[in-house]
Amino acid sequence: MANVGIVIVSHSPKVAEGAADMVRQMVGQEVPLAWTGGNSSGGLGTSFEAITDAIHRAWSEAGVALLVDLGGAETNSEMAIEMLAEEKRGRVVICNAPIVEGAVIAATEASGGASLATVRRTAEELSP
């Protein structure tokens, strides 16, 4: 059975890469993982095209959970989800959770075979 994939979306490529590195060190290769951050010129920002690509890289039949850092990342993630094929759209969710802690706990849940709904709920329990 496939594990839920995790995508980390940050305005900063260094933050996204660092969070992904923490996930890999905590759960190894058990979970499909991708990250994206920054704009096309290397500055702060996000791109729905890059987010779409990250979703495809972390794709799992079990679904994909996105962790985002700021409002623009969430907006672009929503756009990326809308652009997915209809059969994939319903299996991608944005978690309302802190990006680093949420990604680590979501990946830990996913590595144990938890459902997309459980991965999302567990990550969102971290929100204040």
Domain residue ranges in the chain: 5-124
| Catalytically annotated residue among 3, 11, 31, 80 | 11
56 is catalytic: no
Residue 79 CA neighbour count, 13 Å, CB half: 12
- Cα(11)–Cα(59) distance, integer angstroms: 21
Q: What number is the average pLDDT over the span 50-60?
A: 98
The pLDDT assigned to 114 comes to 97
User: Is the model's pLDDT at 103 over the cut of 80?
Assistant: yes
Mean pLDDT over each residue of the chain, to the nearest integer? 95
Any idea of the CA torsion for 41, 47, 49, 54, to the nearest 10 degrees?
A: 100
Edge-to-edge order in the sheet of strand 5-10: 33-37, 5-10, 64-68, 92-95
**E-assigned strand segments in the chain:** 5-10, 33-37, 64-68, 92-95
User: Is the model's pLDDT at 62 over the cut of 80?
Assistant: yes
Q: What is the CATH number of domain 5-124?
A: 3.40.50.510
